[in-house]
Structure 1
Amino acid sequence: MRLFIYLAAGCMALASMGAQAESVSGLYQVREPIEGQGAEARTAATAKAFETLVLRLTGDSKAAQNPGLAELRKNPQPLINQVGTDAGPPESVEVEFDPGSTERALRKAGLALWGSNRPSILGWWLTDSVDGSNLIGDGQASAQPLRRAAQHRGLPLRLPLADLQEQLLANAKQLESNDPAPLRDAAQRYGADALLAVHAQEADGKWQGKWQLWLGDQHEQGTAEAGDQAALADAVMLAVGNRLAPRYVIKAGASSQLQLQVQGMNLQRYAELSRVLEPYGPRLQLADGGTLTYAVSGNREQLRAQLGLAKLQEVPAEQAPPAPSPTPSPGAAPGQPVTPAPVSAKPFDGLRFRW
């Protein structure tokens, strides 16, 4: 009965919850410019939208060339719910793909997938141009190309307020420094998972950008070049997505069966955990008070990384709670053998987390 209550109430909580910061909205909606005129140009833009979506979901620049997707590259229509047109400028197609059909097609091709629950990124983006230096902040017109680029590459980007204190802090020297501590201190007010520091400069009619990314103890860095600021933003977001994806992708056939126990559950947390675990095919095995035990399919380290995004903490083995005591079967007479509770016969050897 307790298990049924969790399931039923959890469904209601899921329906009432708003999207979390780490959940990318519009992940299956792709906008691509139409280069040229007529039906052929529109068809080419639609095919490009499919390639962009594959890259969003895999983080692999070669994934769209997978032989298993050859027919869909020619005609992605079986995966499309609807196609619209944005007059622009530039004129673009807006393609909405069906999530279920798309994921099945990619998994059938043996591709590793990255779900919609992704690390939120706080972007410290400084531009140096003939007009001077500017830290791009939330609400500025110059923020729009960054937001469009992040959406195009499937990344949840946040921007700082860029007030005077932050403008002084996020100078070129700090953004190119290997020490993220000052930026992390300033970023606490925004609650993001990762820090992205970009120093973009205009030179010889082109834009160049040095970028660094910090997520936990992971540090990535690189450079990008493009003809304008919008293209540079897209190049940086593409590179960042490609570096992050391997930490979270789930490859069909490369997973193992795991047990996961989560302590401190309530209805809202059940709904959130259900969303986080969706790519791992969770099967709820036991509900014991505020502790739920799941069977999942995945990689231990990737599951750890995903649960870390949801702000869960791993429970060390020495702090594990004792196994549930057996309880009498309903109607059992005194002195009769006790029927064990419905738990796994094998000792628990999975992962334990708590809220």
Structure 2
Amino acid sequence: MKQLLSWLAISICLICTINTAFAVRVTRLYQAQIPVASQTSEERNQVLQQGLTQVLIKVSGDNGVLNHPKIKSRLEELASTLMQEFSYSPSNLPDNAEPYFLQLNFDADGINKVLQDAGVPIWGQNRPLIVVWLDVEIPNHPAEIMTNDSANEISLLFKQNMDRRGLPIIFPMMDITDMNLVSVNDIVIKAIPVLTNAAKRYSSDAMLMGHITQDKNGFNAQWTLVMGQSQWDWSMTGETIADVLTTVTNNIADTLAGRYAVIMTDTAQTKFTLQVAGVTEAEDFMQLMNYLQHLTPVADVQLIQVSGSDVTLNISLRGTRESFSQAVSLGKKLTSVNNNNQTIPLYQWNH
């Protein structure tokens, strides 16, 4: 009890100063980016519904969210009432007919309430980081692996598509370390063990392999997404590079949202007790509490007991135990520990 009181006293001092680090916390879920030809109010009003649609899809992870009658019937009204602020920036895309991006910021609580009232799942800000091994082969150009510093049209389009669906990605640096481990052929043949080994330095949650080629009919693409023991494969064609990038982005987002999005309720649906080992300092305790409280399925966290470096907590969930397990598997901050001798699940806190 003395240790618990000490921790709680220190926690009061730390709560306003600790900047908890999550696996990947997407910060622009409630912001839409729309290409526009001008900065006039007329054009801005014309694309408000398009911006709201983009945000609703991004937050829910559901590409068909507008099919819900409670949302579709109120789209025009919601676009006006939920938009909070706007700004413009250069589009920076070559040969783009729309020279500006209109950035629209929408009310986060209002968006969540709309989705909750419609019974649509919400995919929270903690999302899997995807390292992308992408090889592009275009006639009269050498095969190229997209890197973190690539500034060509393909790289920009891919990043914008992923941002449109709220998917955090990172391209490899392709420095000496990467070049010694990975070749274009490894991506073409989908050498998963080789690419997985090379991806370790990027601390990602998932890995995407893509091979894009061009012929007289357009573009062909083969993709493989690997996350843990799960794997998804897609083959697609498109008249333009934008077509295949848009399609694969939607496929990835829909797939991951089906795993991590949670239907939000006003009351907790599930409660269980959890024990966490390795919480040795007050700062560990505060980071653990902040981490758990920011997980989408978690409605509330209550401290029950501190014994040495073990912490026992009561967890209230808006969803299922499975949704909680999937959420914590992303950040690698909590690791499940085999605990056959006890009924309370045990996790290890990873500093």
Q: TM-score range by the shorter chain?
A: 0.7 to 0.9
Amino acid at match of 1:260: L
Specify the alignment match of 1:210 in structure 2: 222
In the TM superposition, what are the counterparts of 1:8-47 in structure 2 within 5 Å?
A: 9=11, 12-13=14-15, 15-17=17-19, 19-34=21-36, 39=41, 41-47=43-49
Inter-partner Cα distance in structure 1 for 2:34 and 2:114: 21
Match of 1:118 among 108, 119, 127: 127
Answer with 1 or 2: which has the greater Rg: 1
**How far does residue 86 in structure 1 lie from its aligned partner after superposition?**
3.1
Amino acid at match of 1:286: I
Specify whether residues 271 and 176 from structure 1 end up closer, same or farther in structure 2 by C-alpha distance, changes over 3 A only: same
Inter-partner Cα distance in structure 2 for 1:7 and 1:180: 49
**How far does residue 40 in structure 1 lie from its aligned partner after superposition?**
5.3
**How far does residue 17 in structure 1 lie from its aligned partner after superposition?**
1.4
Specify the alignment match of 1:128 in structure 2: 137
Amino acid at match of 2:276: V
Match of 2:312 among 286, 292, 296: 292
Specify whether residues 178 and 42 from structure 1 end up closer, same or farther in structure 2 by C-alpha distance, changes over 3 A only: same
Specify the alignment match of 1:188 in structure 2: 200
Specify the alignment match of 1:104 in structure 2: 113
Match of 1:307 among 322, 328, 346: 328
Inter-partner Cα distance in structure 1 for 2:291 and 2:110: 19
Kindly report the root-mean-square deviation, in angstroms, between the aligned alpha carbons of the 2 structures. 2.9
Specify the alignment match of 1:333 in structure 2: none
Q: Deviations over 1:167-210 (max 9, x none)?
A: 57655653354651111111111111111001111222633321
Q: Deviations over 1:206-226 (max 9, x none)?
A: 333211100001101113444
Asked if the contact 2:301–2:316 (Cα under 8 Å) also holds between the matched residues in 1, the reply is yes
Specify the alignment match of 1:338 in structure 2: none
Inter-partner Cα distance in structure 1 for 2:314 and 2:284: 17
Specify whether residues 15 and 111 from structure 1 end up closer, same or farther in structure 2 by C-alpha distance, changes over 3 A only: farther
Deviating more after overlay: 5-14 vs 273-282: 5-14
Alignment partner of 1:82 is 2:85: yes
SS in 1 for 2:62: coil
Specify whether residues 164 and 354 from structure 1 end up closer, same or farther in structure 2 by C-alpha distance, changes over 3 A only: closer
Asked if the contact 1:225–1:235 (Cα under 8 Å) also holds between the matched residues in 2, the reply is no
Asked if the contact 1:34–1:93 (Cα under 8 Å) also holds between the matched residues in 2, the reply is yes
Asked if the contact 2:20–2:287 (Cα under 8 Å) also holds between the matched residues in 1, the reply is no
Match of 2:101 among 92, 108, 126: 92
Specify the alignment match of 2:95 in structure 1: none
Inter-partner Cα distance in structure 2 for 1:281 and 1:263: 22
Inter-partner Cα distance in structure 2 for 1:25 and 1:192: 18
Q: Deviations over 1:254-296 (max 9, x none)?
A: 9433333322224246325524443211231413144131222
**How far does residue 14 in structure 1 lie from its aligned partner after superposition?**
6.3
Specify the alignment match of 1:73 in structure 2: 75
Deviating more after overlay: 174-183 vs 194-203: 174-183
Amino acid at match of 1:83: F
Deviating more after overlay: 161-170 vs 273-282: 161-170
SS in 2 for 1:284: strand
Specify the alignment match of 2:346 in structure 1: 352
**Identity across the alignment (%):** 21
Asked if the contact 2:39–2:88 (Cα under 8 Å) also holds between the matched residues in 1, the reply is no
Q: How many correspondences in the alignment?
A: 327
**How far does residue 41 in structure 1 lie from its aligned partner after superposition?**
3.9
**How far does residue 96 in structure 1 lie from its aligned partner after superposition?**
0.8
Inter-partner Cα distance in structure 2 for 1:151 and 1:119: 13
Specify whether residues 10 and 189 from structure 1 end up closer, same or farther in structure 2 by C-alpha distance, changes over 3 A only: farther
TM-score normalised by length of structure 1: 0.81
Asked if the contact 1:137–1:162 (Cα under 8 Å) also holds between the matched residues in 2, the reply is yes
In the TM superposition, what are the counterparts of 1:330-349 in structure 2 within 5 Å?
A: none
